[in-house]
Structure 1
């Protein structure tokens, strides 16, 4: 994305901070690269980041993720989004219940 490069040129400390954070998360350790990319892909879906989906789909493929593994990770994202909708729906229902009723 050209705009990211332009933003980085205008705010180099911000870009450097992002790159440091991204690099730290990408280091091998407890999780292997494929697992990290599957998590990143699921998170990208839940945060609705098109660029992240593109980057982490490609990285998951390069890390050897199978179609079935990607589908399993995306199933978790789907369940999480449904769970979040349930929690926020309960909050909305509660907020609605705190409103005065109309005396009609």
Structure 2
């Protein structure tokens, strides 16, 4: 096990609570933003959590992975659905590396000539 999410998630939520105690407007703003994503009603909870989990991978957020993997399981996502969502994240990260590699090569070309 790389990270014990069962142990990490509660500690993370406690730490976020402490941050919220000293920066309540920041936490309230985040909670409003987070809640707004679910208000449209166009996507079901399972789909939203699969998207959130894939985004968590692309942003490299261990806390997001811990929280959204639990939420995806609670929403009824299967291991196969999670793997497919993660496959999209992997492909997207590779695509981003390709795009930024082209930009870096272009930037290099601007310097040498």
Same fold (TM over 0.5): yes
2:76 counterpart of 1:64 = yes
Task: State the partner residue of 2:21.
Answer: 9
Equivalent residues in 2 for 1:6-85, closer than 5 Å: 6-27=18-39, 29-85=41-97
Match of 2:111 in 1: 99
What is the CA deviation profile of residues 33-57 of structure 1, one whole-angstrom value per residue up to 9, with x for unaligned ones?
A: 0000000000000000000001000
Moved over 3 A (4+): none
SS at match of 1:44: helix
Q: Report the alpha carbon displacement of residue 80 of structure 1 after superposing the two structures with TM.
A: 0.4
Query: How far apart in 2 are the matches of 1:3 and 1:75?
Result: 31
Aligned-residue RMSD, C-alpha: 1.3
Output the TM-score relative to the length of structure 1: 0.91
User: What is the rounded CA distance, in whole Å, between the counterparts of 2:72 and 2:111 in structure 1?
Assistant: 47
Q: Mind listing any 5+ residue stretches in structure 2 that lack a counterpart?
A: 1-11
